[in-house]
């Protein structure tokens, strides 16, 4: 059986997932989590449900259905979890040398973005720049994940792009960096694209209801 870390590793190597079968059901990433991931021609449901349950809840020929509200709502009800968001998934390889933006550690930083990251990522590290923060952590299946936040007074200066690019210089094991961006957050999406990240799919994470808020 394929497990989620194996699938993530294949994507990080640049492999294209086979489109047959178009739908795969994998074990949940952890007992209190679930995820629905969509890639070109392939959808993955990683949750504590059976393939029979998933097949009964989905049309047989609609690749968009797993990330649409009817299926996600059914999954919420079945698992007692809540959808956090439906995000664009972006991926970028590591880079050598110093990051383009000077950063300093900010342990215990109370920025709302940092507090949110600590609710669903492990090994969260907060790095402060003048006018923004970069948050690094271990997310789904242990992948490196990055998030940025730019203070209003510093927006439009390229700081978001530099922070996103800096994350690519800060992985110690040579693995790529992932980012999850809400489709409506056009400024953040532009920043990550400008920093060399490539859109690879979409994702909905399901968390305990108290964690999914905010």
Write down the pLDDT at residue 25: 95
pLDDT at position 61 is: 80
**Confidence bin at 51 (pLDDT 50/70/90):** very high
Residue 184 confidence (pLDDT): 95
Sheet strands (E) in the chain: 23-26, 34-39, 42-46, 82-92, 104-105, 122-129, 132-138, 144-150, 177-181, 198-207
Catalogue the E-assigned strands of 47-121.
Answer: 82-92, 104-105
pLDDT at 106 over 90: no
CA angle in degrees (0–180, nearest 5) for 41-43-44: 145
- The percentage of residues in the chain with a pLDDT greater than 70, rounded to a whole number, is 91
pLDDT, mean over the chain: 91
pLDDT at residue 113 in the model: 67
The strand pair at 104-105 and 82-92 is best described as: unpaired
Structure tokens at 22: 């178009």
C-beta of residue 203 within 8 angstroms of C-beta of residue 180? yes
Provide the pLDDT confidence category of residue 110 given band limits of 50, 70 and 90.
Answer: low
pLDDT of residue 1: 47
Angle at 98 between CA 182 and CA 132, to 5 degrees: 40
Burial of 22 (0-12, 13-18, 19+ CB in 10 A): middle
Q: What does pTM read for this prediction?
A: 0.91
CB-hemisphere CA count at 13 Å for 183?
A: 8
- Strand, helix or coil for residue 68: coil
Whether the per-residue pLDDT at 59 is higher than 90: the answer is no
Average pLDDT value for residue range 16-28: 91
Residue 34 has pLDDT above 80, yes or no: yes
Residues 149, 31, 61, CA angle at the centre, nearest 5°? 80
Which whole number is the average pLDDT over 28-43?
Answer: 94
CA atoms within 13 A on the CB side of 186: 1
pLDDT in tens, 112-159: 666 666 777 888 899 999 999 999 999 999 999 999 999 999 999 999
Of 100-114, 141-155, 171-185, 190-204, which range is least confident?
Answer: 100-114
Distance CA 128, CA 107 (A): 9
Which of the two residues, 25 and 19, has the higher pLDDT score? 25
Q: Which of 23-32, 111-120, 161-170 has the highest mean pLDDT?
A: 161-170
Using left for φ > 0, alpha for ψ between -120 and 50, and beta otherwise, residue 156 falls in: left
**pLDDT band, residue 2 (cuts 50/70/90):** low
């Amino acid at each position: 059986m394929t497990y989620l870390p194996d699938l993530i590793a294949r994507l990080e190597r640049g492999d294209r997932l086979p489109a047959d079968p178009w739908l795969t059901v994998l074990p949940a990433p952890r007992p209190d989590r679930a995820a629905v991931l969509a890639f070109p021609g392939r959808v993955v449901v990683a949750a504590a449900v059976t393939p029979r349950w998933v097949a009964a809840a989905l049309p047989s020929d609609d690749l968009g259905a797993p990330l649409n509200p009817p299926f996600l709502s059914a999954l919420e009800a079945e698992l007692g979890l809540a959808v956090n968001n439906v995000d664009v998934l972006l991926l970028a390889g590591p880079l050598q040398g110093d990051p383009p933006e000077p950063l300093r550690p900010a342990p215990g930083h109370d920025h709302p973005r940092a507090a949110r990251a600590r609710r669903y990522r492990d090994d969260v590290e907060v790095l402060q720049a003048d006018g923004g923060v970069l948050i690094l952590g271990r997310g789904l299946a242990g992948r490196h994940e990055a998030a940025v936040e730019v203070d209003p007074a510093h927006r439009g200066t390229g700081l978001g792009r530099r922070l996103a690019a800096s994350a690519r210089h800060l992985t110690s094991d040579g693995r790529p960096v992932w980012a999850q961006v809400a489709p409506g957050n056009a400024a953040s999406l532009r920043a990550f694209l400008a920093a060399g990240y490539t859109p690879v799919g979409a994702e909905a994470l399901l968390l305990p209801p108290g964690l999914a808020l905010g």
